[in-house]
Amino acid sequence: MDNELVDLVMEDTRERMDRAIEHVKNEFGTVRTGRATSTLIEGLLIDYYGTETPLKQLANFSVPEPRLLVVSPFDKGSIAAIEKAIGNADLGLTPSNDGQVIRLAFPALTEERRKSFVKMVKTKAEEGRVALRGVRRHARQELETLEKEQGLSSDEIERLEKILDKMTQDEVAVVDALLAHKEKELLAV
């Protein structure tokens, strides 16, 4: 019985850490690098006939050139709402449409803007690290509860905490690698 509960705690911890890493990846995807990418606008909520709908459910995206993103709505009647939402999102992009598609030209980033994006990415990375440590803390609390209720030995708890620490260090290293990659991407001219 004890091992089943311990396995559940460790498995739950692994899943939570994986979700934290995915969240960091998604957050990094929303930071513009000067190259066209749909991840910047996919999650924008569009007022589609009175319902807030994510843009990725309303349109296809294509990147015909490195600095051009083309949004092709399934319903041409939603172009005005999509254009308005993109304009209001304060992404530094100006949408233009021809009645069929919306084109977003990604301007080159200035040095100052690149540095501000790097700061933003570092903040998001730190939030990811904090989330991972929070997951570890939660797992430790669950293990302490098991120690009291199920009579796990302190040696077993110590062994599991070392595994948790190693797991956390590995995931923090993943966040650091993601950060280094994104920083390099942002600072590339």
Whole-angstrom CA distances from 128 to 1, 36, 133, 168 are 33, 25, 9, 11
Tell me: do 92 and 114 sit in the same domain.
no
Tell me: do 25 and 117 sit in the same domain.
yes
d(CA 72, CA 11): 41
- Indicate if the pLDDT at residue 1 is higher than 60: no
Q: Domain containing 21 — which CATH number?
A: 1.10.132.20
Tell me: do 101 and 56 sit in the same domain.
yes
Tell me: do 138 and 91 sit in the same domain.
no
Mean pLDDT of the chain: 87
Instruction: Give the range with max mean pLDDT: 36-40, 98-102, 105-109.
Output: 98-102
Q: What is the DSSP string of 120-157?
A: HHHHHHHHHHHHHHHHHHHHHHHHHHHHHHH---HHHH
Reported confidence tier of residue 157, pLDDT bands at 50, 70, 90: confident
- Indicate the angle between helix axes 111-150 and 2-29, nearest 10 degrees: 170
Range of the domain at 139: 2-30+110-187
150 or 57, which is more confident: 57
Q: Domain containing 55 — which CATH number?
A: 3.30.1360.40
pLDDT in tens, 14-32: 999 999 999 999 888 877 6
Tell me: do 50 and 87 sit in the same domain.
yes
Tell me: do 140 and 101 sit in the same domain.
no
- Indicate if the pLDDT at residue 44 is higher than 90: no
Residue 59's DSSP bridge partners are: 73
Q: Which of 156, 176, 125, 149 is nearest to 10 (CA)?
A: 156
Tell me: do 24 and 114 sit in the same domain.
yes
Tell me: do 139 and 176 sit in the same domain.
yes
- Indicate if the pLDDT at residue 189 is higher than 70: no
Boundary-marking domain end, from 105, 129, 156: 105
Reported confidence tier of residue 66, pLDDT bands at 50, 70, 90: confident
Query: What proportion of the chain, given as a percentage, has pLDDT over 70?
Result: 97
d(CA 77, CA 149): 61
Give me the number of domains the chain comprises: 2
